[in-house]
Amino acid sequence: MALDTEMPLNSLGFAKPPSETRVVVAMSGGVDSSVVAAYLADQGYDVVGVTLQLYDHGAALAKKGACCAGIDIHDARRVAEERGFPHYVLDYENIFKDAVIDEFADSYLAGATPVPCIRCNERVKFKDLLETARDLEADCMATGHYIQRKIGPNGPELHCAEDANRDQSYFLFSTTPEQLDYLRFPLGHLPSKDATREMAAQYGLAVADKPDSQDICFVPNGNYASVIEKLRPGAAEPGEIVHADGRVLGSHEGVIHYTIGQRRGLGIGGLSDPLYVVRLDVDRKQVVVGPKEMLATRTIPVREINWLGDAPFTSHPEWHLSVKVRSTRPPREAIVRPISETEAEVELLTPEEGVSPGQACVFYESDGSRIFGGGWIWRGY
């Protein structure tokens, strides 16, 4: 449909009144997405709330600190009822298991440290749910993520949130240009989470003081190993804890209980110098430990790259960017050298400790807020 250039754009970027602009809001039941839905409804938009049931929430009703549980579906429905817009709950359990949970389990068994929240955004929320929004004839889909969508000279760009403490760019690097064209992130410009909660209180939302989700939604209490053992019975095979110099220092109950960079809980006390997990050898069932300096990594192979730059990824022999190799780490200066459109070698100008296969390597503008995409670390040593 051609835009009426004489009509000013509304706050979502469409040249028509809010009442004629349908927006699907992905509602998790938390305060962020609830505020987005209430705000857009208050602005007069044709809001449709959609909540995904991603797993058997019956067992999670009493579990705090995780998204997508049964109480969250109830909270999302309540917001929709109070604000007067339709709300749907979609059963995505099978899709979520196939696209996210199974890979999570297999990655851990292969000695990697996966980030299922990224895969959920990539393969479920911004894929199947986005297609559902199109089926509902929505003009766009809005979420409660803390990230910004800005219009640049070549179209929509992805930028970090105004509040660096809430920025979720690490988890959204795989958003494609086509998806970005359709998505909206109304909270990305807010100065703090307090501002979001103030908006929730102004709208009289019952979730205004609801705690933020902390854990991966299908991992109770952050105990990854117990979930893996449930999904893949017999997967936790015992083996040896071995020093990098070859000495056997102890035994373990399964490689899945360890991650690269781990220091505590190794069960090999009595040593004069602290040791860290520097490698997981799945084939030999070995947890390899060594001194901290062995964790330092300068070169990182990355694949499955999603590139958000204006020029093609392979149009330059190298890109001088900043990269983040864990969600909790600040970006570090790096040189990204394309191997193909979806593969690259990343050279860190300052070595990083604890780089782990399965984590994301996200590309950032060195002197600005723009995100240039990223990829998956497939070998960190």
Distances 342 to 58, 301, 355 between C-alpha atoms, Å: 40, 11, 20
Is residue 52 annotated as involved in ligand binding? yes
Tokens 């980030």 correspond to 115
Instruction: Output the DSSP codes for 3-39.
Output: --TTSPP-TTS-SS-GGG-EEEEE--SSHHHHHHHHH
Largest pairwise CA distance in the chain: 76
CB atoms within 10 A of CB 235: 17
* Cross-sheet strand order for the sheet of 87-91: 87-91, 46-53, 22-26, 140-142, 183-184
Helix (H, G, I), strand (E, B) or coil at 246: coil
Q: Is 34 annotated as a binding residue?
A: no
Pairing of strands 286-290, 296-307: unpaired
Tell me whether residue 227 is annotated as binding: no
C-alpha distances in Å from residue 266, one per residue of 88, 248, 249, 251, 295 = 46, 13, 10, 9, 16
The torsion region of residue 65 among left (phi > 0), alpha (psi -120 to 50) and beta comes to: left
Q: Which two tokens stand for residue 298?
A: 């300068």
Helix (H, G, I), strand (E, B) or coil at 336: strand
- 144 assigned to a ligand binding site: yes
Whether 68 is a known active-site residue: answer no
Cα of 291 vs its chain's centroid, Å? 31
Residue 110: what are its φ and ψ, rounded to 5°? -90, 5
Q: Which of 67, 160, 217, 361 is catalytic?
A: 217
| Catalytic entry in 67, 68, 117, 120 | 120
User: Is residue 344 marked as binding?
Assistant: no
Q: In whole angstroms, what is the distance from residue 209 CA to residue 192 CA? A: 15
266 is in an annotated binding site: no
Question: Do the annotations mark residue 30 as ligand-binding?
Answer: yes
Task: Specify the pairing of strand 319-324 against strand 360-364.
Answer: antiparallel
Angle at 18 between CA 13 and CA 23, to 5 degrees: 75
* 8 A C-beta contact, residue 115 and residue 327: yes
27 is in an annotated binding site: yes
Reply yes or no on whether 160 is catalytic: no
Binding-site residues for ATP:
26-33, 52, 144
Query: Which residues form the catalytic set?
Result: 120, 217
Q: Binding site, residues?
A: 26-33, 52, 144
